[in-house]
Amino acid sequence: MKTLPLWSLALCAVVATSTLNGCALALVGGAAAATGMVATDRRSVDTQVADTTIDATTAGEVRRILGDKGGHVTTTSYYRKVLLTGEVPNAETRQRIVSAVQQTRDVAGVVDQLAVMPDEPLSQRADDSAITARVKTNLVNTSGVPSNSIKVVTERGTTYLMGRLTRRETELATEAARTTTGVQRVVRVIDYISDQAALHPNDAGHSSAAPVSPAPGTATQDSAPMEPVQGASTFPVSQSPVIKQPPVEVTPLPPAK
């Protein structure tokens, strides 16, 4: 029996949330497609698979907790960190969801951006989807931004940027997002990496022993100081005490004037 090459197995795992037919079609695409996917994403194949699994698992937990209580919650995993966005009916439900996600296998940290409020209307969700599409287009068209290494989520006009970026890339991506039509606010959920690390996107070997990211405005051997964005505030997000990861910085930004 012929054995599938490693890239084929990895590709199937990364698109596990698609249909089986979709996976089969992806395999037909050939090694070039898989190589391109890995090369343009700064996560290793293992991390991409882990994020896909985390997305599916946490989404299932959220559905279980919400039941018929109402609520609209989106879970987005990048580099084993989960961003929670959406609306929940009460504070107790919010805490149950956060706790369940924190205890999910391979989750290194949780960024809780849930709001206790009625579900947003479908029209708002449609607007958010359109905003996300426009932001992604602007990122692709912005020189110096590794758009394939950034996840974009929009909730009630707030756009979240997730990724592993240099400070320069972060500023370019932020400007592209905050000047996009419809964006009311930008929140950055970024793991800062050095310029040298950006040249070697495979994160294998760095997930458990990565150095702690410096505070904004401080210089490192591989990066220049980053000027603080006017009106921005930064606060750390608690990380799992079991899995050591670089800290996440969540920086809410005002909309562009």
* pLDDT tens, residue by residue, 53-105: 999 999 999 999 999 888 999 999 999 999 999 999 999 999 999 999 999 99
In whole numbers, what is the pLDDT of the chain averaged over residues? 74
pTM for this entry:
0.69
Rounded CA-CA distance 189/250 in Å is 5
> What confidence category does residue 191 fall into, taking pLDDT thresholds of 50, 70 and 90?
confident
**Is 161 in contact with 173 (CB distance < 8 Å)?**
yes
Give the pairing type, strands 185-192 and 158-165: parallel
Is the per-residue pLDDT at 232 higher than 50? no
Rounded CA-CA distance 180/100 in Å is 34
The percent of residues in the chain predicted with pLDDT above 70, rounded, is 64
- Cβ-proximal residues to 161 (8 Å cutoff; 6+ apart), any chain: 150, 151, 152, 170, 173, 174, 177, 186, 187, 188, 189, 190
Rounded CA-CA distance 40/79 in Å is 15
Query: HEC states along 174-200?
Result: HHHHHCCCCCCEEEEEEEECCHHHHCC
Q: What is the mean pLDDT of residues 242-253?
A: 54
Q: What per-residue confidence (pLDDT) applies to 12?
A: 54
* pLDDT tens, residue by residue, 41-56: 888 899 999 999 999 9
Torsion sign, CA atoms 109, 101, 87, 18: positive
Q: What per-residue confidence (pLDDT) applies to 192?
A: 87
Is the per-residue pLDDT at 247 higher than 90? no
* Residue type, position 106, single letter: D
Going by the DSSP 8-state scheme, the letter that residue 149 receives in this structure is G
- Cβ-proximal residues to 242 (8 Å cutoff; 6+ apart), any chain: none
Of 7-11, 22-26, 184-188, minimum mean pLDDT range: 22-26
Rounded CA-CA distance 193/110 in Å is 20
Q: What per-residue confidence (pLDDT) applies to 166?
A: 92
**Is 126 in contact with 110 (CB distance < 8 Å)?**
no
Backbone angles phi, psi at 30, to 5 degrees: 95, 170
**Is 186 in contact with 177 (CB distance < 8 Å)?**
yes
**Is 135 in contact with 107 (CB distance < 8 Å)?**
no
* pLDDT tens, residue by residue, 131-173: 999 999 999 999 999 999 999 999 999 999 999 899 999 999 9
Q: What is the mean pLDDT of residues 114-135?
A: 93
- The DSSP annotation for 88-131 comes to ESSHHHHHHHHHHHHTSTT--EEEEEEEESPPPPHHHHHHHHHH
Exposure string (b/e) for 229-255, b if CB count within 10 Å is 16 or more? beeeeeeeeebbeeeebbebbbbbbeb
